[in-house]
Amino acid sequence: MSTAGTTEPDGRTRHYGGFYGLDESGPSASSDDRPLLVVWGNCQAESVRVLLAGSGENAVRTVRVPPVFELVESDLGYLRGLMARADILVSQPVKDGYRDMPLGTGQVAALMPAGGRVLRWPVLRCSSLHPFQAIVRDPWDPSRDPPVVPYHDLRTIASVQTGRDLLDAPVPAAVCAEVARASVAELARREAAGCDVAVSDLLAQPQLGDMHTLNHPGNRILITLVRRIQAALGLPVDAADPGRELLGGTRAPVAAAAAEALGLDVDDERVARVPSASHWRVGAESVATRHIHDVQARWYRENPWLLDAAEQRHGPLLDALGLR
């Protein structure tokens, strides 16, 4: 939390100053009698908090909390202190013992005072617009991401498996439609199994920009989600666009076959008719899809066990997409 040789807090600690108790006049201050609401989850959680905090009615106070995957043992005391004051927990489903720490939704909820409210919302992951993006966990380091962009591409994986460059391999729109249907159905299943609000209905008929990547929803999805959270909590339903794209730091091109399958405009600049000629947007930079493909293909060849992990998790999908 501090830089070497000084007691001054580092940038990250200052960024999460409310969580670490640095801002005594901030939204967690005891002099503020509004309900204290904590948003808990992955990188999507901060976007939800921003929209809740931006309510014109200002009905609740919030604290910026690190995403659950960043927390370490030394953070647990701060977490306990925050939750001992919390009135409302708005949480994605997090399993008990996550990262071998008591960070599960139920474990965190148990730290709240009696009478605290808990509302669960889904991890937003949907491949309707990006049928080739996939999650692959390195068995030796599950937090490890591929180079250039933190997303795996099944076309690149299949290229290394088969020895053929499949980046521009044609995939029928009907196949993309089935991938989209299955992805939305899986999200709906997870919502029904452990959530109090849902957004899978929106992603059944998505718009371009609704998912910048597999797991980074656009503002339309996030705003609707937060309005549904507000309604479920009995708060004013007034979440509004903040004037910036909350999770748009990394944006992948939309596969033309996916756009066609969903009835979207294939001539939109966000749609890639020729994947190898398309570009991602990463921060302020334009990064060629061909460059990402080539670098990641080399990475898979250097780490062949990742191909086994991809096969175990996505083998049927690789076949369904006709990539082998």
Domain contains 4: no
Together in a domain, 41 and 110: yes
Measured over all CA atoms, what is the biggest interatomic distance in the chain, rounded to whole angstroms?
A: 65
Together in a domain, 297 and 202: yes
Together in a domain, 51 and 180: no
Mean pLDDT for 249-268 is 97
Domain contains 304: yes
Q: What does the pLDDT look like over 284-310, one tens digit per residue? A: 999 999 999 999 999 999 999 999 999
Domain contains 126: no
Q: How many CB atoms lie within 10 A of CB 127?
A: 26
The pLDDT assigned to 23 comes to: 72
CA distance 73 to 101: 7
Together in a domain, 67 and 141: no
Domain contains 137: yes
Domain contains 234: yes
Domain contains 180: yes
Together in a domain, 272 and 198: yes
CA distance 252 to 271: 9
**DSSP β-ladder status, 250-251 and 279-282:** antiparallel
- Residue that is last in its domain, among 73, 89, 120: 120
- 30 half-sphere exposure, CB direction, 13 A CA radius: 4
* CA 207 vs CA 218, 237, 264, 311: distances in Å: 10, 23, 7, 30
Together in a domain, 70 and 114: yes
How much of the chain exceeds pLDDT 70, in percent? 95
What's the predicted TM-score (pTM) here? 0.93
Asked whether residue 111 carries a pLDDT value surpassing 70, the answer given is yes
Domain contains 33: yes
DSSP conformation letters of 132-167 = TEE---BTTBTT---SSSS-EEHHHHHHHHHTS--T
Together in a domain, 220 and 278: yes
- Residue that is last in its domain, among 74, 98, 120: 120
What is the total count of domains within the chain?
2
The pLDDT assigned to 3 comes to: 47
Q: How many CB atoms lie within 10 A of CB 288?
A: 14
Together in a domain, 116 and 142: no
Together in a domain, 112 and 160: no
Q: Annotate 47-67 with three-state secondary structure.
A: HHHHHHHCCCCCCCEECCCCC
Together in a domain, 105 and 151: no
The pLDDT assigned to 69 comes to: 95
- b (16+ CB within 10 A) / e for 86-119: bbbbbbbbbeeebeebebbbebbbebbeeebbbb
Domain contains 82: yes
- Write the CATH number for 38: 3.40.50.12080
Together in a domain, 71 and 139: no
- Residue that is last in its domain, among 120, 153, 177: 120
Angle made by CA atoms 281, 159, 182, in degrees to the nearest 5: 70
**Nearest CA-CA partner of 224 in 214, 210, 245:** 210
Asked whether residue 198 carries a pLDDT value surpassing 60, the answer given is yes
Q: What does the pLDDT look like over 32-70, one tens digit per residue? A: 889 999 999 999 999 999 999 999 888 999 999 999 999
User: Where in the sequence is the domain holding 74, given as residue range(s)?
Assistant: 11-120
How much of the chain exceeds pLDDT 90, in percent? 89
Asked whether residue 89 carries a pLDDT value surpassing 50, the answer given is yes
Tokens of 58: 């200002």
Together in a domain, 145 and 253: yes
Q: What does the pLDDT look like over 38-47, one tens digit per residue? A: 999 999 999 9
CA distance 292 to 206: 26
